[in-house]
Chains A and B, each alone.
Chain A
Amino acid sequence: AQSVAQPEDQVNVAEGNPLTVKCTYSVSGNPYLFWYVQYPNRGLQFLLKYITGDNLVKGSYGFEAEFNKSQTSFHLKKPSALVSDSALYFCAVRDQAGTALIFGKGTTLSVSS
């Protein structure tokens, strides 16, 4: 069975500092990995995904994530946080094309000015 773990309920960073939101996964085959962001009372916005290729994936709004197969991790990063990045972030995984995404519990990112 597939699963995703986001070990932190909340991450607090100061504006301008780098941020990391952690994600580890478990799948039986090759993983398809995703990051989404959700603002209050809104739907999901796609940030980035890893299917194959370079382990470092660059996405929307300056975010990037690194696929680490040995550690089964896919941490989300940004070099310099903005207050507007404050939101709920979800990591998701599936193990084959055409199947549903399985989501982590989410991590609330709070960026202070």
Chain B
Amino acid sequence: GAVVSQHPSWVICKSGTSVKIECRSLDFQATTMFWYRQFPKQSLMLMATSNEGSKATYEQGVEKDKFLINHASLTLSTLTVTSAHPEDSSFYICSAIRLAGNQETQYFGPGTRLLVL
């Protein structure tokens, strides 16, 4: 079946560094991917919509200069957390839409846990 992968699954970094998280659709092309953020025991909050070949659309309250999104190909979207701080520590989850005829299915990646020290 369709799979969405994320890399890395875990990352620990020092405050002030930048971290790049990759989201790949492994056996389908995805023109649209989404990035979510989840705090412990809380819901998934949509951060942005990533469209291949164009700028990402950010949700209200999400700093686009802080969370850089690049969707350079139909199978890869990246989220870069710039100048990370401890409050950026969270679980980041991507999802990708697969279109097959009239059927649309949204697949989620396994998530990336970021810990900023």
Q: How many A-B residue pairs have CB under 8 A?
A: 42
The residues of A that contact B97 with a CB separation of less than 8 Å are 98
Chain A: residues with Cβ within 8 Å of the partner, total of: 19
Does B113 count as interface, using CB distance less than 8 angstroms?
yes
The residues of A that contact B95 with a CB separation of less than 8 Å are 100-101
B107 → chain A closest CB, angstroms: 8
A41 and B112 alpha carbons, distance in the complex (Å)? 10
Does B54 count as interface, using CB distance less than 8 angstroms?
no
Question: Do residues A98 and B104 form an inter-chain contact, with CB atoms below 8 A?
Answer: yes
Question: Do residues A100 and B113 form an inter-chain contact, with CB atoms below 8 A?
Answer: no
A105 and B43 alpha carbons, distance in the complex (Å)? 4
Question: Do residues B110 and A42 form an inter-chain contact, with CB atoms below 8 A?
Answer: yes
A residues adjacent to B (C-beta < 8 A): 36, 41-44, 46, 88, 90, 97-106, 108
